[in-house]
Amino acid sequence: SGLDKMRVFRKVFYITGISFLIGAVILTVWCIFAPIDTLAEKYNEYLVWLADLELKIAAIESKGVVVLVLFMLFFVKCAVPLYPFSILFVASAMVFELPVAMLINCLGMILIMSIKYEAGVHLGGGNLKRLIRTSRVATELVETKGGEQTLILFLMRLVPIIPINAASQLYGSLDYDYWKFLIVSIIGYLPQMLSFSVMGRNARNPFSLGFIIPIIVLLFVSGIALLVLGGVFDVIKKVRK
């Protein structure tokens, strides 16, 4: 039944959230006890490839060309899910200093979220019905109110595995305030963007703490967000019974 499916859906949030937290603990223990220097030696081929990539990037005379390419890749990602956003976050930080990379990533995400939000606005109710048929999050979200929708939006943005395009389009279809949508989304995405950007700055040594700690932070934040998200949906259901 539909009720049973909703219960299973919320259990998936809890199970996935706990799995992320366990992953964060395992990775933390690994950082403490693993022979990182020995393992890093196995990445010589990776380092050679990375050095070659850096030489090719350095050969580009204008960094403006790199920025343009990055924005084009953000736009392509908006239309076709060929690669994860994390790749773009890391790539920008490999080329630019962290503050500049964060600015580029923020602008890229604003571009994508705005396009998808507007698509949801223009498609309207028909698109909302389609999303409800294909997404359990959409099914639960249409039953919530303004404050609840804002909290759910923030929590969803904290989790890398929740598709940004579908969520943005959904909020556009709900006629949610655009500026509130944008501000909450960017704040929610900051931990992801910062973590992946720091990883990009430390890409030359994937076994360094500068590369691994952001992964631990991502797993921890995502795990907590999923547990809270599942709890929010449970509370909403109990209140409305």
Say how far apart CA 7 and CA 141 lie, in whole Å. Answer: 15
How does pLDDT run across 29-80, given as a tens digit for each residue? 776 666 555 555 555 555 555 566 556 655 666 778 888 888 888 888 877 7
Whether 130 has a pLDDT exceeding 80, the answer reads no
Q: What is the mean pLDDT of the chain?
A: 76
Q: How far apart are CA 206 and CA 31, in angstroms?
A: 12
pTM (2 d.p.): 0.75
Other beta carbons within 10 angstroms of residue 149's beta carbon come to: 20
Tokens of 204: 């030359």
CA 239-121-116 angle, 5° bins:
95
> Which residues, at least 6 apart from 75, have a Cβ–Cβ distance to it below 8 Å?
111, 112
For the chain, percent of residues with pLDDT exceeding 70: 69
| Closest to 98 (Cα-Cα) out of 214, 207, 19, 2 | 214
Above pLDDT 90, what percent of the chain? 9
**Cα torsion for 227, 229, 234, 237, to the nearest 10°?**
180
CA distances from residue 93 to 41, 53, 102, 169 in whole angstroms, order as listed: 24, 14, 8, 28
- 170-211 pLDDT, tens digit per residue, is 888 888 889 999 999 999 999 988 988 888 888 777 777 788
CA distance 168 to 200: 26
Q: What is the pLDDT of residues 106-117, one digit of tens each?
A: 999 999 899 989
The top-scoring range by mean pLDDT among 49-63, 144-158, 212-226 is 212-226
Contact 177, 209 (CB under 8 A): no
